């Protein structure tokens, strides 16, 4: 395997890692506030199509990125309205969001399938660092979204751990009545968390359609929104562990299309002879296996999930 191929693999690992980390970070915020949102795949897809279309229209990747975040937030707001404000079942609402989001994206984007964007994010060579062999190319010559995502990860960690708002979000995910009677608005906290989470997912979707696979096709998110949902469990609802998990999954996602080009043998089997379709199951099988292993290791301990995850709250219910 050539050095260039190996570097390419790690560059792609960082990018795929960024993609799933950004989306999972959004889901983490929502779940820490006690709202399960299974609509990540739908929000990402809506972000992908809207980001791509705004990019075509304006020629500005940043305008496209933030437009996608706004759309993601709007779609997330729908989940907040139905499941937080009106208190409907979160699982049902989230699934409907995914199905409806995929349909709406297909409808909205029907006329731009196959078009190519004129401009896209350029890689930011960070002066001095980008020239370091290996490390420079992998970590310091990436598109700006990668660095923005790292900053967002740090920001989410800081807000959750070190601010009044973060304390309230952590509290409302554990016990809504407690947070309510302490004087915070449960509805506001949860709605904001879901909408911010939606923005992250939408932005992640546009990173896909603007940079990683420029263009729009139906179903282009291809299950990576679901991987983001699983990642939150893998990350035990903590941003730091989430980042580690994202790199692991990023590696698998990056490996899958490249494996064929690598001239290596595993257990006497020539890897390049394996069908790309079969290699495509890797990330999904890995997700299941990882979830099972985590649960096996934690089987005697109480769950670390936010205690109020998935439970709607109405104040005067009795």
Identify which range of 21-29, 88-96, 197-205, 263-271 contacts other proteins by CB under 8 A.
88-96
> Does residue 86 interact with other proteins by CB under 8 A?
yes
Identify which range of 48-56, 80-88, 143-151, 238-246 contacts other proteins by CB under 8 A.
80-88
Q: Are strands 141-142 and 265-266 parallel, antiparallel or unpaired?
A: unpaired
Q: Pick between residue 100 and residue 125 the one whose CB is nearest to other proteins.
A: 100
> Does residue 285 interact with other proteins by CB under 8 A?
yes
Of residues 213 through 272, those in contact with other proteins by CB under 8 A are: 222-223, 226, 229-230, 233
Q: Which residues contact 36 (CB under 8 A, 6 or more apart)?
A: 30, 90, 91, 94, 309, 310
The site for other proteins, by CB under 8 A, has a size of 73
Q: Pick between residue 1 and residue 298 the one whose CB is nearest to other proteins.
A: 298
Provide the minimum distance between the beta carbon of 230 and other proteins in the complex, in angstroms, as a whole number.
5
Provide the minimum distance between the beta carbon of 194 and other proteins in the complex, in angstroms, as a whole number.
15
Identify which range of 3-11, 57-65, 136-144, 170-178 contacts other proteins by CB under 8 A.
170-178
Q: Pick between residue 43 and residue 97 the one whose CB is nearest to other proteins.
A: 97
Among 3, 164, 267, 268, the residue binding other proteins under the rule CB under 8 A is 164
CA 239 to each of CA 15, 80, 227: distance values in angstroms, whole numbers, following the listed order: 18, 22, 16
Question: Using alpha carbons only, what angle is made at residue 102 by residues 32 and 29, rounded to the nearest 5 degrees?
Answer: 10
Contacts 24+ apart (CB under 8 A), 281-288: 282/252, 282/255, 282/256, 283/223, 283/227, 283/249, 283/252, 283/253, 283/256, 284/223, 284/227, 286/249, 286/252, 287/226, 287/227, 287/230, 287/249
> Does residue 281 interact with other proteins by CB under 8 A?
yes
CA 231 to each of CA 8, 25, 140: distance values in angstroms, whole numbers, following the listed order: 24, 9, 25
> Does residue 129 interact with other proteins by CB under 8 A?
no
Structure-block tokens of residue 158: 């800081």
Q: Pick between residue 50 and residue 93 the one whose CB is nearest to other proteins.
A: 93
Of residues 178 through 217, those in contact with other proteins by CB under 8 A are: 178-185
How far is Cα 185 from Cα 204, in angstroms, rounded to an integer? 29
């Amino acid at each position: 395997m050539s050095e260039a191929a190996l570097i390419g693999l790690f560059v792609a690992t960082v990018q795929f890692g960024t993609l799933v980390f950004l989306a999972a970070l959004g889901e983490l915020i929502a779940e820490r506030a006690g709202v399960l949102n299974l609509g990540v795949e739908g929000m990402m897809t809506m972000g992908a199509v809207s980001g791509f279309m705004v990019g075509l229209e304006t020629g500005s990747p940043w305008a496209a990125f933030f437009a996608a975040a706004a759309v993601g937030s709007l779609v997330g707001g729908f989940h907040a309205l139905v499941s937080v404000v009106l208190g409907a079942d979160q699982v049902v609402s989230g699934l409907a969001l995914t199905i409806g989001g995929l349909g709406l994206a297909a409808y909205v984007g029907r006329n731009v399938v196959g078009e190519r964007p004129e401009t896209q994010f350029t890689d930011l060579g960070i002066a001095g660092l980008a020239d370091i062999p290996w490390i420079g190319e992998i970590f310091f010559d990436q598109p700006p979204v990668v660095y923005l995502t790292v900053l967002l990860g740090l920001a989410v960690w800081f807000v959750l751990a070190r601010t009044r708002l973060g304390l309230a979000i952590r509290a409302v995910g554990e016990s809504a009545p407690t947070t309510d009677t302490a004087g915070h608005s449960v509805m506001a906290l949860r709605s904001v968390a879901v909408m911010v989470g939606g923005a992250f997912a939408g932005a992640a979707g546009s990173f896909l359609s603007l940079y990683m696979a420029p263009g729009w096709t139906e179903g282009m998110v291809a299950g990576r929104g679901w991987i983001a949902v699983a990642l939150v469990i893998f990350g035990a609802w903590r941003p730091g562990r989430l980042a580690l998990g994202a790199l692991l999954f990023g590696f698998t996602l990056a490996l899958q299309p490249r494996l064929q080009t690598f001239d290596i043998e595993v257990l006497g089997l020539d890897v390049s002879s394996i069908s790309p379709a079969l290699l495509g199951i890797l990330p999904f099988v890995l997700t299941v296996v990882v979830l099972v292993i985590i649960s096996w290791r934690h089987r005697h301990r109480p769950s670390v999930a936010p205690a109020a995850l998935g439970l709607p709250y109405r104040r005067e219910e009795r």
